[in-house]
Amino acid sequence: MSQLTVELVLGRLATDERFRTQAAASLEKATLQEGYRLSQTELLLLSGVELQGFSELASRLNPGLCRAGR
């Protein structure tokens, strides 16, 4: 299990609306497209995370901390 990769994915979920949208459709596909290599256990654990919470967090962050739309 790569803690760094998990933390990077969690950070992306908090700061990248496009990534959150893709992850909501398919977390595995979204992470692979972005080059994150997660184990099946990590994917399973991350898939249990409520994405709405990340949207709420993102709305409270300074926009300068979030990714600009691509």
pLDDT in tens, 5-53: 999 999 999 999 999 999 999 999 999 999 999 999 999 999 989 988 9
Closest CA to 70 of 2, 11, 22, 10: 22
* The model's pTM: 0.85
* Alpha-carbon span 63 to 44, nearest angstrom: 30
CB 11 within 8 A of CB 61: no
Domain limits for position 48? 3-62
| Domain presence at residue 70 | no
Q: Is the pLDDT of residue 65 over 60?
A: yes
Q: So what's the pLDDT on residue 62?
A: 86
Q: Is the pLDDT of residue 63 over 90?
A: no
Per-residue tokens: 40: 């099946």
Count of domains observed in the chain: 1
CB 19 within 8 A of CB 13: yes
Give the pLDDT band (50/70/90) at residue 69: low
Closest CA to 39 of 4, 13, 2: 2
